[in-house]
């Protein structure tokens, strides 16, 4: 993150990141495809997936879409009474995680912590859903980063050791320096630890609870839809020429064949550097 902030405008760094960007698009698209194959079961989830895509394209918040899909699945499978209870829980979750004002543009450490707490509290389905939520909250909502910076952050998260969630640390540093990086990291991880601690006493009951299963199925379907939408949005923002499109298509095909993301990221970076070297002076 420090290197990006200090040297991100150098032509070589720009070339590396521009070469990696199409690979990032392919990785996000492949993540959605893989999760869909593993989790989609039945017509209800398919309908919720399509509905989630339509809702996001219509401008509805990704967080609302995730919670709404889970609640709707409960209503359809279990009944209206359970759906009302879930709606109350969902409303409480939204109110407690929505304390960050979308009109605030200055990224103070406290606001960074609040924004990533909000994201971490509703993150479900795949680490790649993080990309959709980051785009919604930080690009479209708060305006702290640009679309290009989001793609760069995901690229760095893929290229460095550790989970994709390191993208949150990277963005925190970009918008708020070292303190911002700590705030973002704590914010995105803390809700998961709290959720685990709270759910341990009732985990055995949740496994057999039809409402819990219905909610998770609904949220899973919506998460797949969000991945599809964000993959298209990232493609529109980053694939500006034939080489970029070709790189993304080849990377996606290789992912289907089992290629590792690390090698594809390195190959994309090499393509970017070669393109820079061959560019007219």
- Looking up tokens 């080489």, which residue turns up? 243
- Looking up tokens 């760069």, which residue turns up? 152
- Residue by residue, pLDDT tens for the chain (281 residues) are 777 877 778 888 888 888 999 999 999 999 999 989 888 888 899 999 999 999 999 988 888 898 899 899 998 888 755 445 444 444 434 444 444 444 445 778 999 999 999 888 877 656 788 888 898 889 988 899 998 899 888 888 877 766 677 899 999 999 999 999 999 999 999 988 888 888 777 777 777 788 888 888 898 899 999 999 999 999 998 898 999 999 999 999 999 999 988 899 999 999 999 998 887 76
What CA–CA distances, in Å, run from 110 to 10, 93, 101, 179, 273? 31, 19, 12, 10, 38
What CA–CA distances, in Å, run from 243 to 20, 21, 116, 265? 12, 12, 35, 15
């Amino acid at each position: 993150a420090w290197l990006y902030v200090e040297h991100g405008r150098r032509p070589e760094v720009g070339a590396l990141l521009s070469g990696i960007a199409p690979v990032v698009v392919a990785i996000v698209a492949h993540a959605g495809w893989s999760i869909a194959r593993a989790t989609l079961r039945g017509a209800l989830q398919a309908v919720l997936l399509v509905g989630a895509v339509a809702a996001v394209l219509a401008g509805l918040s990704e967080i609302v879409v995730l919670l709404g899909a889970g609640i709707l699945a409960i209503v359809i499978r279990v009944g209206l009474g359970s759906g009302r209870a879930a709606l109350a829980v969902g409303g409480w979750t939204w109110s407690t995680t929505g304390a960050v004002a979308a009109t605030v543009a200055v990224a103070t450490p406290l606001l960074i912590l609040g924004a990533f707490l909000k994201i971490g509290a509703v993150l479900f389905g795949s680490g790649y859903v993080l990309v959709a939520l980051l785009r919604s909250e930080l690009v479209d909502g708060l305006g702290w980063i640009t679309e290009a910076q989001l793609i760069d952050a995901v690229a760095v998260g893929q290229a460095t050791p550790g989970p994709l969630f390191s993208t949150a640390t990277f963005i925190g540093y970009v918008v708020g320096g070292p303190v911002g990086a700590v705030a973002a990291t704590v914010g995105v991880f803390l809700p998961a630890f709290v959720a685990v601690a709270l759910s341990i006493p009732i985990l055995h009951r949740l496994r057999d609870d039809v409402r819990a299963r219905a909610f998770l199925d609904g949220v899973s379907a919506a998460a797949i839809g969000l991945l599809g939408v964000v993959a298209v949005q990232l493609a529109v923002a980053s694939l500006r020429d034939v080489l970029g499109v070709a790189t993304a298509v080849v990377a996606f095909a290789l992912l289907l064949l089992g290629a590792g993301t690390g090698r594809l990221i390195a190959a994309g970076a090499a393509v970017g550097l070669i393109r820079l070297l061959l560019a007219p002076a």
